[in-house]
Amino acid sequence: MSIEINNESGVAVDEAALQRLASYALDFLHVHPDADLAIVLVDEAAMEQLHVQWMDEPGPTDVLSFPMDELRPGTDDEITPAGLLGDIVLCPQVAIEQARSAGHSTQDELQLLTAHGLLHLLGFDHAEPDEEKEMFGLQRDILVGYAHSQRRR
């Protein structure tokens, strides 16, 4: 599994932890070990530009996902085919503010956003209440499972 992380944000981030989380989540979702994922961390100006260009919304946002091969999660019996998952773009400056509001660390917020962005790459959405319940449930399961796996390390 190729997980490339590129921090262009100017903010120090535990990139290894993001990589471990992404690897855990891909395994949890039965994604092929040869799938490729890129995580890019950008500053507010770059995120605002992407947000306007792709979502037609002003201001920076916390996370954007750009799927490539439209892969979907696998199952216990059949993993996802190999391919390009796509890119997750994170903005640490926005994550810092959200973490303060939520009462947890910036790293916890970036991990939540990474799991959220990954689920979007795999076709999950939260536009409808039933979709939101499914997506946020999986997001929680990934984060709790990952945290538990790190305590055993």
- 116 assigned ligand-binding residue: yes
pLDDT in tens, 55-111: 999 999 999 999 999 999 999 999 998 999 999 999 999 999 999 999 999 999 999
User: What confidence tier does 153 reach under pLDDT thresholds 50, 70, 90?
Assistant: low
Whole-number average pLDDT of the chain: 95
Supply the pLDDT for residue 97.
97
Residues in CB range of 25: below 8 A, 6 or more apart = 114, 115, 118, 142, 146
> For the chain, what are the domain ranges?
2-152
The C-alpha atoms of residue 129 and residue 146 are separated, in whole angstroms, by 25
Supply the pLDDT for residue 151.
87
Residues in CB range of 40: below 8 A, 6 or more apart = 5, 6, 8, 87, 88, 89, 90
Mean pLDDT of the 124-135 span: 95
Residue 26 scores a pLDDT above 80: yes
Supply the pLDDT for residue 152.
76
Burial status of residue 88 (CB atoms within 10 A of its CB: 0-12, 13-18, 19 or more) = buried
- 32 assigned ligand-binding residue: no
The C-alpha atoms of residue 2 and residue 19 are separated, in whole angstroms, by 10
Residue 1 scores a pLDDT above 80: no
Helix (H) or strand (E) holding 2: strand 2-7
> Which option is the CATH number for 2-152: 1.20.1300.10, 3.40.390.30, 3.40.50.720, 3.30.590.10?
3.40.390.30
- 51 assigned ligand-binding residue: no
